[in-house]
Amino acid sequence: MQAARLHEYTHDMTDGLSIDEVDRPVVDGSNDVIVEVEGAGWCQTDNHIIEGMWEEFVPQPLPMTLGHENAGTVVETGSEVDLVSEGDPVICHPVQTCGTCRPCRLGETMYCENSAFNGLTTDGGFAEYLHTSERSVIPLPDGVEPIDIAPHADAGITAYHAAKKAVADLNPGDHAVVIGVGGLGHIGLQCLDAMSAARITAVDLKESALDLAERYGADNVINPSDEDVRSELDGITDGAGATQVLDFVGADETTAYAPDITAAGGDHHIIGYGGHIHEPSQALVDGEFSFVGNIVGRYAELQELVALVEQDDVDLHTSRFDLNEVNRVAEKLEHGEIDGRAVITP
Ligand code: NAD
Ligand code: ZN
């Protein structure tokens, strides 16, 4: 089968991945599930992986097939698999977990001590077939097509995970801010809108992203290229600041907004990454705001997101590309030329 694989780290996105002919994965364990991939979202994390940003954090055997936002149809199952059978449409949680370690027992599947992460530590879904397990697939409800839902496997669940934490602390009348309305942000915004009564301000450098934000429920939008984010938010929140900030960029300039835009006792959620946090410790004492880390989301949270999708609360803005266009997609994303999410169709 064909697979888009990373052979060596590079900053040149024009030929980061190569299309290789590799063996089709087969069932070799009783809980294995083989999925024919119909849609695989291209995440900015794929660009980060190609650049080698994950090398010091996780084991990455190269060459490796990338792709962690996968959905498709089950074509083969191991002898003990009950949840799905051949022909079932599924979305694939990106992490294959053991089910028996303590974090797994607690439902904290992202902290599994024996996990493999599709397209990050093991072969992913930019390929015709994906090797995963019964513990990682979620059968799709009637009327939801794999190709339409694929980006929720990572962009969606990550945005949902952060939004769910934020919503727990958002009361009517409070303000929330979404920084970066791209693949993750356009979903996070809709999750906030569906699950809270907070007033939402979207911040993005691209007018097309701010148009999307308005369509998906933002009450206010700010473009830092020609507006001052701090003073605009001061006006919008009447000086109180935002109770919850979801930062889908995580650059030096966006983390630096925190002391000025976060309300007393509020949270600045770090979801995007690549920059640094340089605030003096006193800034977190005065006003008692917190920086909160977010890594993808639990298996059970993906089930909750699928429920939101089924009841039409969360839409996806996507464009589709062939497998042999992966490097074009990487480059387009690098240059801000993708709105919403690009989906590879192997
Ligand atoms: P994307 O490129 O689709 O979206 C990023 C958006 O942010 C774009 O609309 C861009 O215009 C905007 N932006 C860029 N710089 C900005 C700035 N300084 N101020 C305001 N807006 C700005 O990217 P994505 O795929 O949505 O990923 C977003 C980030 O989340 C990436 O860093 C990605 O690696 C990360 N990510 C994290 C997790 C996690 O588990 N925490 C999971 C997936 C992706
Ligand atoms: Zn485990």
Tens-place pLDDT, residues 275-329:
999 999 999 999 899 999 999 999 999 999 999 999 999 999 999 999 999 999 9
pLDDT of residue 188: 98
| CA R_g for the chain | 20
pLDDT of residue 171: 97
Residues within a 6 A CB radius of ligand 1: 43-45, 48, 154-155, 158, 179-185, 203-206, 209, 224, 248-251, 253-254, 271-274, 294-296, 333, 336
Q: Each residue of 240-258: pLDDT tens digit?
A: 999 999 999 999 999 999 9
Q: Please say whether the beta carbons of 124 and 68 come within 8 A.
A: yes
Q: Each residue of 126-165: pLDDT tens digit?
A: 999 999 999 999 999 999 999 999 999 999 999 999 999 9
106 burial via Cβ count (<10 Å: 0-12, 13-18, 19+): exposed
Please compute the mean of the pLDDT values over residues 199-224 and round it to a whole number: 98
Q: Compute the distance between CA of residue 205 and CA of residue 247 in angstroms, rounded to an integer.
A: 13
Query: Residue with structure tokens 């979305």?
Result: 91
Q: Compute the distance between CA of residue 148 and CA of residue 170 in angstroms, rounded to an integer.
A: 30
Read off φ and ψ for residue 332, nearest 5 degrees.
Answer: -60, -40
Instruction: Count Cα atoms within 13 angstroms, Cβ side, for 171.
Output: 2
The SS3 call for residue 27 is: coil
pLDDT of residue 248: 98
Looking at residue 245, its amino acid is: V
Q: How many helices (H) and strands (E) does the chain have?
A: 12, 18
| 40, 101, 303 from 109: Cα distances, Å | 21, 9, 13
State the sign of the Cα–Cα–Cα–Cα dihedral 197, 199, 205, 206.
positive
Please compute the mean of the pLDDT values over residues 48-57 and round it to a whole number: 97
pLDDT of residue 96: 98
At 266, the pLDDT band (50, 70, 90 cuts) reads: very high
Instruction: Return the structure tokens found at 214.
Output: 């308005």
pLDDT of residue 64: 98
Q: Which of 45, 121, 254, 255 is catalytic?
A: 45
The SS3 call for residue 111 is: helix
Query: Which residue has a Cα nearest atom 13 of ligand 1?
Result: 180
Which ligand does the CA of 95 lie closest to? 2
Query: Which residue has a Cα nearest atom 32 of ligand 1?
Result: 272
Query: Which residue has a Cα nearest atom 35 of ligand 1?
Result: 272
pLDDT of residue 290: 97
The SS3 call for residue 301 is: helix
Tell whether omega for the bond before 63 is within 30 degrees of 0, i.e. cis.
Answer: yes
Read off φ and ψ for residue 285, nearest 5 degrees.
Answer: -80, -50
Q: Compute the distance between CA of residue 133 and CA of residue 154 in angstroms, rounded to an integer.
A: 17
What's the whole-number average pLDDT of the chain?
Answer: 98
pLDDT of residue 200: 98
**Active-site residue 278, yes or no?**
no
Instruction: Return the structure tokens found at 307.
Output: 């429920």
Please compute the mean of the pLDDT values over residues 58-77 and round it to a whole number: 98
pLDDT of residue 164: 98
Q: How many other C-beta atoms are found inside a 10 Å radius of the C-beta of residue 28?
A: 8
Query: Residue with structure tokens 């830092």?
Result: 224
Q: Compute the distance between CA of residue 155 and CA of residue 112 in angstroms, rounded to an integer.
A: 20
The SS3 call for residue 33 is: strand
The angle at the Cα of 108, spanning 129 to 178, to the nearest 5 degrees, equals: 85
**Active-site residue 93, yes or no?**
no
User: 44 C-alpha vs ligand 1 centroid, how far in Å?
Assistant: 7
pLDDT of residue 121: 98
pLDDT of residue 115: 97
